[in-house]
Amino acid sequence: MITAIMQPTFLPWIGYFDLIDRVDTFVFLDDAQVLKRSWGVRNRILAQNGETFLTVPLVGHSQNADCSFANTRIDPAPKWRRSHLATIRHAYSKAPFFEPVFELIEQVYEAGHETIGALNMAFIREAADRMGIETEFVQSSTLQGIDGAKDARLLSICRAIGAETYLAAQGSAAYIEQDHASGAFAGSGVELFYHNFDHPLYPQLADTFTSHMSVVDLLMNCGFGSALDIIRSGRREQLTGNALRGLAA
């Protein structure tokens, strides 16, 4: 069984969904700390005047407190939700698949989710389902007996769910490989690979293509029915730690 483990990002980019699609079980690391101005609370869409950030306001957040995705509350006031929806409408009202995608976003925004984790996971689950991704989702906060930090914690999660292979985001190599090759995964019995993805081109409203937008941009322009094929077209052979180090050299 192959797994990936990631924090629940806000309106993630398309590579996040390729990672979900490539594994049997995807673990939301929802007991991780939420960082302000991170991808956990904001992301980009392509408006008429270029890239525009949408940011979710948090309540009572402190870097010194236990502010995980699972327990960090979002501002209950409707003002920011109305602002986000208005910005999305203005940016994509002329997009070919505006109506069904906007309906999904509006549904998630109006569902009354109280925490940033709940909001993010609701969108990711629903978007993945409508694209035809059949991966199982698990929340780390619901698992028992998880211990350790960084790569040791990831290994503990893999063992808790019975994963034989861990597919990691390339960015995590900075701490997994920090002390020695494969970190805590070396000799553990759990194989370690790194996700490899080249951002594909797809039709956008703008004349010049802009990559790494929220998946909202792909869905608005290409629809749920075509999105997964486009995402999979960017898939490349997964990398070992040695191969990843070779690319960085």
pLDDT of 110 strictly over 80: yes
Within 162-214, residue ranges assigned H as helices are 173-176
Beta strand residue intervals within the chain, DSSP E: 2-6, 25-28, 42-47, 50-55, 58-59, 73-74, 136-139, 165-168, 191-194
pLDDT of 35 strictly over 70: yes
Q: For residues 197 and 203, what is the distance between their CA atoms, to the nearest angstrom?
A: 19
> Residue 133 half-sphere exposure, CB side, CA atoms within 13 Å?
29
Reported as a pLDDT band with limits 50, 70 and 90, residue 20 is very high
Tell me the longest C-alpha to C-alpha distance in the chain: 53
Check if the beta carbon of residue 85 is closer than 8 Å to that of residue 105: yes
Backbone angles phi, psi at 203, to 5 degrees: -65, 135
User: Roughly how many angstroms between the first and final C-alpha of the chain, as a whole number?
Assistant: 31
Reported as a pLDDT band with limits 50, 70 and 90, residue 176 is very high
pLDDT of 240 strictly over 90: no
Reported as a pLDDT band with limits 50, 70 and 90, residue 245 is low
Which amino acid makes up residue 24? D
Q: How is the chain split into domains, by residue range?
A: 2-142+199-233
Residues 49-70: tens digit of each pLDDT: 899 999 999 997 666 567 899 9
Reported as a pLDDT band with limits 50, 70 and 90, residue 246 is low
Say what the pLDDT of residue 124 is.
98
Compute the average pLDDT of residues 209-231: 98
Q: Which residues contact 186 (CB under 8 A, 6 or more apart)?
A: 180
3-class DSSP state of 210: coil
> For 100, which DSSP code?
H
Q: Is the pTM of this model over 0.85?
A: yes
pLDDT of 98 strictly over 60: yes
Say what the pLDDT of residue 232 is.
98
